Amino acid sequence: MKQYPNVFVFDHPLIRHKVSILRDKNTGMKEFRELIEEITTLMTYESMRDVELVPVEVATPLEKTVQYRIPEESVAIVPILRAGLGMVNGVHKVFPTARVGHIGMYRDEETLEPQEYYCKLPDGVDHKTVYLLDPMLATGGSACDALTALKKRGATNIKFMAIIAAPDGIEKVAAEHPDVKVYVSTLDRCLNEHGYILPGLGDAGDRLYGTK
């Protein structure tokens, strides 16, 4: 697969360990949900290395000093419904004051094309770092449409995070949205004829919420 400067694939032993349990078909819903959150937290920590800090004056027990913080209104989380909801708490563990919006997308089972049915975003997304979340980056259609929807509504600084990705999805998002930083914990082999990632982990939404 071609290398893209805006794509970051993690190769951390702890993430790889947790992903291996996540993939297991015998991993139950509760543990699956916890693992999604834990992996997202680890990814968020790494993806925030370039977040802008501002100076603030802090009074320690001994003296006043200038320190640096992330502005509280500077981050927004936007999960792609419904599976992206499982990643929200993982980001909130790192940055609990982040505002949350939602984008609803579904994939037409025949054409595999994404369809938007809902979009509600926090005020001021044009001045925030927006984290777009979806556990699975398969064909890239939903991610690209969601990114376009965010940009139409004013977002300019967007980071996309997925836990499992296929080369097809990486290439589509990187090519169509080169200004968006893409963070992926694991790059898998390919898609099957139904658009599912192999080896993957099945349907993330179904495993998160106990549906089929």
Active site residues: 107, 111, 203, 206
At position 195, the amino acid (one-letter code) is G
| Partners of residue 164 on adjacent β-strands | 136, 186
